[in-house]
Homo-oligomer: A and B are copies of this chain.
Amino acid sequence: MDINADAGESFGRWQLGNDSALFAHITSVNLACGFHAGDPLTIQQSIALAKEQGVAVGAHPGFYDKVGFGRRIIQASAAEVYADVLYQIGALQAFLRVHDMRLHHVKAHGALHWYALANADICTAIAKATQNAGDDVPFVALAGTKMVDVAAETGVKVIREAFPERAYMADGSLAPRTLAGSSIHDPQEAAKRAVKMVTGEPLETLDGGTVTLQAETLCIHGDNPEAVTIAATMSDALNAAGITVKAF
Protein backbone atom coordinates (compact mmCIF):
# COMPACT_ATOMS: atom_id res chain seq x y z
CA MET A 1 0.00 0.00 0.00
CA ASP A 2 1.22 3.41 -1.06
CA ILE A 3 0.67 6.67 0.86
CA ASN A 4 0.92 9.75 -1.32
CA ALA A 5 0.81 13.49 -0.69
CA ASP A 6 1.16 16.66 -2.71
CA ALA A 7 4.52 18.41 -2.51
CA GLY A 8 6.80 20.85 -4.29
CA GLU A 9 4.14 23.53 -3.92
CA SER A 10 6.46 26.40 -3.13
CA PHE A 11 6.89 29.07 -5.81
CA GLY A 12 9.93 31.30 -6.05
CA ARG A 13 10.20 33.32 -2.84
CA TRP A 14 7.00 31.80 -1.45
CA GLN A 15 7.40 28.69 0.67
CA LEU A 16 4.56 26.24 1.28
CA GLY A 17 4.48 23.04 3.28
CA ASN A 18 7.29 21.19 5.04
CA ASP A 19 8.26 18.64 2.44
CA SER A 20 11.22 17.23 4.28
CA ALA A 21 9.22 16.31 7.41
CA LEU A 22 6.37 14.95 5.28
CA PHE A 23 8.63 12.77 3.11
CA ALA A 24 9.62 10.76 6.18
CA HIS A 25 6.11 9.32 6.42
CA ILE A 26 4.87 8.82 2.88
CA THR A 27 5.93 6.53 0.05
CA SER A 28 5.15 8.61 -3.02
CA VAL A 29 4.69 12.23 -3.81
CA ASN A 30 2.62 14.23 -6.30
CA LEU A 31 4.96 16.96 -7.43
CA ALA A 32 3.67 20.30 -8.72
CA CYS A 33 4.98 20.84 -12.26
CA GLY A 34 5.12 24.62 -12.54
CA PHE A 35 1.63 25.41 -13.85
CA HIS A 36 -0.42 25.80 -10.65
CA ALA A 37 2.57 25.75 -8.26
CA GLY A 38 6.25 24.96 -8.30
CA ASP A 39 8.93 26.26 -10.63
CA PRO A 40 11.99 24.68 -12.27
CA LEU A 41 14.31 25.21 -9.26
CA THR A 42 11.67 23.97 -6.81
CA ILE A 43 11.13 20.87 -8.95
CA GLN A 44 14.87 20.20 -8.99
CA GLN A 45 15.19 20.58 -5.22
CA SER A 46 12.07 18.53 -4.47
CA ILE A 47 13.29 15.64 -6.59
CA ALA A 48 16.71 15.70 -4.91
CA LEU A 49 14.95 15.63 -1.54
CA ALA A 50 12.63 12.79 -2.59
CA LYS A 51 15.58 10.73 -3.80
CA GLU A 52 17.47 11.36 -0.57
CA GLN A 53 14.47 10.26 1.51
CA GLY A 54 13.54 7.34 -0.72
CA VAL A 55 10.17 8.65 -1.87
CA ALA A 56 8.84 7.85 -5.35
CA VAL A 57 7.98 10.88 -7.49
CA GLY A 58 4.77 11.30 -9.47
CA ALA A 59 3.69 14.25 -11.61
CA HIS A 60 0.87 16.48 -10.39
CA PRO A 61 -0.10 18.52 -13.45
CA GLY A 62 -2.61 21.30 -12.95
CA PHE A 63 -4.23 24.22 -14.69
CA TYR A 64 -1.99 27.11 -15.67
CA ASP A 65 -3.31 29.30 -12.87
CA LYS A 66 -0.87 30.21 -10.10
CA VAL A 67 -2.96 32.95 -8.52
CA GLY A 68 -5.80 30.41 -8.19
CA PHE A 69 -3.41 27.58 -7.17
CA GLY A 70 -5.04 25.40 -9.82
CA ARG A 71 -8.24 25.27 -7.79
CA ARG A 72 -10.52 26.91 -10.35
CA ILE A 73 -11.77 24.97 -13.33
CA ILE A 74 -10.64 26.54 -16.61
CA GLN A 75 -12.99 25.34 -19.33
CA ALA A 76 -10.18 24.23 -21.61
CA SER A 77 -10.68 21.82 -24.50
CA ALA A 78 -9.55 18.21 -24.27
CA ALA A 79 -6.81 18.99 -26.81
CA GLU A 80 -5.51 21.82 -24.63
CA VAL A 81 -5.61 19.65 -21.51
CA TYR A 82 -3.74 16.83 -23.28
CA ALA A 83 -0.96 19.16 -24.44
CA ASP A 84 -0.73 20.99 -21.11
CA VAL A 85 -0.43 17.73 -19.19
CA LEU A 86 2.13 16.20 -21.54
CA TYR A 87 4.20 19.39 -21.32
CA GLN A 88 4.22 19.27 -17.52
CA ILE A 89 5.02 15.56 -17.40
CA GLY A 90 7.92 15.98 -19.82
CA ALA A 91 9.40 18.85 -17.86
CA LEU A 92 9.34 16.77 -14.69
CA GLN A 93 10.82 13.71 -16.41
CA ALA A 94 13.90 15.69 -17.48
CA PHE A 95 14.73 16.39 -13.83
CA LEU A 96 14.01 12.78 -12.83
CA ARG A 97 16.39 11.43 -15.48
CA VAL A 98 19.20 13.54 -14.04
CA HIS A 99 18.66 11.71 -10.75
CA ASP A 100 18.31 8.31 -12.44
CA MET A 101 14.71 8.17 -11.28
CA ARG A 102 11.61 7.11 -13.17
CA LEU A 103 8.26 8.83 -13.12
CA HIS A 104 6.13 6.86 -10.64
CA HIS A 105 2.64 8.05 -11.60
CA VAL A 106 0.56 10.92 -12.92
CA LYS A 107 -2.30 12.43 -10.93
CA ALA A 108 -4.31 15.51 -11.86
CA HIS A 109 -4.24 18.37 -9.37
CA GLY A 110 -7.19 20.21 -7.86
CA ALA A 111 -9.59 21.67 -10.39
CA LEU A 112 -8.07 19.63 -13.22
CA HIS A 113 -9.00 16.54 -11.21
CA TRP A 114 -12.54 17.81 -10.67
CA TYR A 115 -12.82 18.65 -14.36
CA ALA A 116 -11.75 15.11 -15.27
CA LEU A 117 -14.27 13.65 -12.82
CA ALA A 118 -17.07 15.58 -14.51
CA ASN A 119 -15.95 15.19 -18.15
CA ALA A 120 -14.98 11.87 -19.67
CA ASP A 121 -13.11 13.50 -22.57
CA ILE A 122 -10.94 15.46 -20.16
CA CYS A 123 -10.23 12.30 -18.17
CA THR A 124 -9.30 10.57 -21.43
CA ALA A 125 -7.00 13.43 -22.42
CA ILE A 126 -5.06 13.21 -19.16
CA ALA A 127 -4.90 9.42 -19.34
CA LYS A 128 -3.56 9.57 -22.90
CA ALA A 129 -0.91 12.14 -21.98
CA THR A 130 0.10 9.81 -19.16
CA GLN A 131 0.28 6.85 -21.51
CA ASN A 132 2.30 8.85 -24.03
CA ALA A 133 4.81 9.76 -21.34
CA GLY A 134 6.10 6.21 -21.77
CA ASP A 135 7.61 3.77 -19.28
CA ASP A 136 4.18 2.31 -18.54
CA VAL A 137 3.51 5.14 -16.08
CA PRO A 138 0.24 4.59 -14.16
CA PHE A 139 -2.59 7.12 -14.00
CA VAL A 140 -4.15 7.72 -10.58
CA ALA A 141 -7.97 7.75 -10.57
CA LEU A 142 -10.45 8.24 -7.75
CA ALA A 143 -11.54 4.78 -6.56
CA GLY A 144 -15.24 4.13 -7.03
CA THR A 145 -15.77 6.66 -9.81
CA LYS A 146 -16.11 6.33 -13.55
CA MET A 147 -12.65 7.92 -13.89
CA VAL A 148 -11.27 4.43 -13.31
CA ASP A 149 -13.06 2.94 -16.31
CA VAL A 150 -12.74 5.95 -18.59
CA ALA A 151 -8.99 6.04 -18.06
CA ALA A 152 -8.63 2.26 -18.43
CA GLU A 153 -10.25 2.43 -21.86
CA THR A 154 -7.21 4.30 -23.17
CA GLY A 155 -5.05 1.35 -22.25
CA VAL A 156 -3.14 3.22 -19.55
CA LYS A 157 -2.44 1.42 -16.29
CA VAL A 158 -4.85 2.76 -13.64
CA ILE A 159 -4.20 3.02 -9.89
CA ARG A 160 -7.21 3.60 -7.61
CA GLU A 161 -6.88 6.21 -4.90
CA ALA A 162 -8.83 6.93 -1.71
CA PHE A 163 -8.76 9.75 0.85
CA PRO A 164 -8.80 8.59 4.50
CA GLU A 165 -9.13 12.18 5.76
CA ARG A 166 -12.22 12.86 3.68
CA ALA A 167 -15.80 11.70 4.23
CA TYR A 168 -17.58 10.04 1.30
CA MET A 169 -21.09 9.96 -0.08
CA ALA A 170 -22.91 6.71 -0.83
CA ASP A 171 -22.35 7.17 -4.57
CA GLY A 172 -18.59 7.01 -4.03
CA SER A 173 -17.93 10.71 -4.41
CA LEU A 174 -16.04 12.76 -1.84
CA ALA A 175 -18.37 14.66 0.49
CA PRO A 176 -18.38 18.34 -0.46
CA ARG A 177 -16.13 20.39 1.84
CA THR A 178 -19.09 22.65 2.60
CA LEU A 179 -20.80 19.82 4.54
CA ALA A 180 -20.17 19.44 8.27
CA GLY A 181 -18.05 16.36 8.87
CA SER A 182 -16.56 16.34 5.39
CA SER A 183 -13.03 16.32 6.81
CA ILE A 184 -11.70 13.76 9.28
CA HIS A 185 -9.39 15.52 11.74
CA ASP A 186 -8.74 12.70 14.21
CA PRO A 187 -5.60 10.76 13.16
CA GLN A 188 -6.85 7.53 14.77
CA GLU A 189 -10.14 7.77 12.91
CA ALA A 190 -8.37 8.51 9.62
CA ALA A 191 -6.09 5.52 10.21
CA LYS A 192 -9.06 3.19 10.80
CA ARG A 193 -10.68 4.41 7.60
CA ALA A 194 -7.42 3.90 5.74
CA VAL A 195 -7.39 0.22 6.67
CA LYS A 196 -11.00 -0.23 5.51
CA MET A 197 -10.27 1.55 2.23
CA VAL A 198 -7.52 -0.92 1.50
CA THR A 199 -9.15 -4.11 2.70
CA GLY A 200 -12.48 -3.35 1.04
CA GLU A 201 -14.57 -3.16 4.22
CA PRO A 202 -17.63 -0.89 3.91
CA LEU A 203 -17.26 2.72 5.09
CA GLU A 204 -20.14 4.73 6.56
CA THR A 205 -20.96 7.73 4.40
CA LEU A 206 -22.03 11.23 5.31
CA ASP A 207 -25.45 10.73 3.73
CA GLY A 208 -26.19 7.73 5.89
CA GLY A 209 -25.22 4.86 3.60
CA THR A 210 -22.07 2.90 3.03
CA VAL A 211 -19.49 2.70 0.31
CA THR A 212 -16.87 0.06 -0.42
CA LEU A 213 -13.57 1.09 -1.96
CA GLN A 214 -10.58 -0.96 -3.07
CA ALA A 215 -7.75 1.53 -3.10
CA GLU A 216 -4.15 0.96 -4.13
CA THR A 217 -2.93 4.32 -2.89
CA LEU A 218 -4.07 6.59 -0.08
CA CYS A 219 -3.77 10.35 -0.28
CA ILE A 220 -3.12 12.60 2.69
CA HIS A 221 -3.12 16.39 2.61
CA GLY A 222 0.42 17.69 2.97
CA ASP A 223 -0.69 21.24 3.70
CA ASN A 224 -2.54 20.08 6.83
CA PRO A 225 -0.47 21.08 9.90
CA GLU A 226 -1.27 17.59 11.27
CA ALA A 227 -0.10 15.85 8.12
CA VAL A 228 3.00 14.32 9.68
CA THR A 229 1.04 12.87 12.62
CA ILE A 230 -1.70 11.56 10.36
CA ALA A 231 0.78 9.90 8.01
CA ALA A 232 2.60 8.22 10.89
CA THR A 233 -0.59 6.98 12.58
CA MET A 234 -1.97 5.66 9.31
CA SER A 235 1.26 3.92 8.48
CA ASP A 236 1.28 2.21 11.88
CA ALA A 237 -2.34 1.08 11.51
CA LEU A 238 -1.71 -0.36 8.07
CA ASN A 239 1.36 -2.21 9.30
CA ALA A 240 -0.61 -3.53 12.27
CA ALA A 241 -3.22 -4.87 9.81
CA GLY A 242 -0.47 -6.70 7.98
CA ILE A 243 -0.36 -4.32 5.05
CA THR A 244 3.09 -3.28 3.86
CA VAL A 245 3.40 0.43 3.20
CA LYS A 246 5.51 1.08 0.13
CA ALA A 247 5.24 2.76 -3.25
CA PHE A 248 3.23 0.70 -5.77
Q: Is A172 an interface residue (CB 8 A)?
A: no
Tell me the residues in window 49-83 of chain A with beta carbons closer than 8 Å to chain B beta carbons.
Answer: 64-69, 71-76, 79-80, 83
Chain A 69-107 per-residue mask, 1 if CB under 8 angstroms from chain B, else 0 = 101111110011001101111111111011000000000
- Each complex incorporates copies of this chain amounting to 4
Chain A residues touching B, range: 35 or more
A224 to B44: give the CA distance in the assembly, Å.
Answer: 27
* A86: chain B residues within 8 A (beta carbon): 40, 44, 94-95, 98
Q: Is A134 an interface residue (CB 8 A)?
A: yes
A residues at B contact (CB < 8 Å): 10-16, 34, 37, 39-41, 43-44, 64-69, 71-76, 79-80, 83-84, 86-95, 97-98, 111, 132-134
23 sample A-B contacts, Cβ–Cβ < 8 Å, listed by A number:
A11-B11, A11-B14, A13-B69, A13-B71, A34-B87, A40-B80, A40-B84, A44-B83, A64-B65, A64-B67, A65-B74, A66-B66, A68-B80, A72-B75, A74-B74, A74-B75, A75-B111, A86-B94, A90-B97, A91-B94, A93-B93, A97-B132, A98-B132
